[in-house]
Amino acid sequence: MKTFLKIIGALILLGAVLFGYIFYMGRSRGPEISEQATKFLSLASDFDAENAHDFFSDELKRAVSFEDFANDIDSYFYRLDFVSQEQTGFYFFIGMPESAPYNIFKLRRFYEYDGVVTYARGQEGTINAVFIREDGQWKILAFDISDPYPKY
């Protein structure tokens, strides 16, 4: 019975340490991720497709070509007129890529970012983006930016 309680105690301690590490990593990376999100939105709002596309992860670049993204900037971002954004939430997690499931040596760090975006005319929207650590930098794996203008 004592051995069983020691094992349970060790597992609880390990879980607490792991939770603390994940929470610390999420909080400590917030300013860096927020800066990346702001730079990306500024470039996209300024129609700088080439530099904004550089913020994409390799996976997102394979899914969204430069040409498609450049067209999206012309048809979507021109309406946004981005001024600023502020982080409202985050979720940090570690996972395995689809290309190497079950390979613990290929673990990747993901950061899900939530923020409030302010546009030039005072409207507010939201940004939700998933960043991935790639070549020492946080890159965008997926993003969704709300459009403050009604669609007719």
pTM reported for the whole predicted model: 0.69
pLDDT band for position 139 (cuts 50, 70, 90)? very high
Asked if the model's pLDDT at residue 137 lies above 80, the reply is yes
Asked if the model's pLDDT at residue 97 lies above 70, the reply is no
Question: What pLDDT sits at residue 150?
Answer: 58
Asked if the model's pLDDT at residue 100 lies above 50, the reply is no
The mean pLDDT of the chain is 77
Could you give the dihedral angle defined by the CA atoms of residues 14, 15, 16 and 18, in that order, rounded to the nearest 10 degrees?
A: 80
pLDDT digits over 25-75, tens only?
Answer: 655 666 788 888 888 888 888 888 899 999 999 989 999 899 998 888 776
What's the Cα-to-Cα distance from 9 to each of 3, 5, 12, 80, 152, rounded to whole Å?
A: 10, 6, 5, 52, 59
- Kindly report the number of other CB atoms within 10 A of residue 96's CB atom: 14
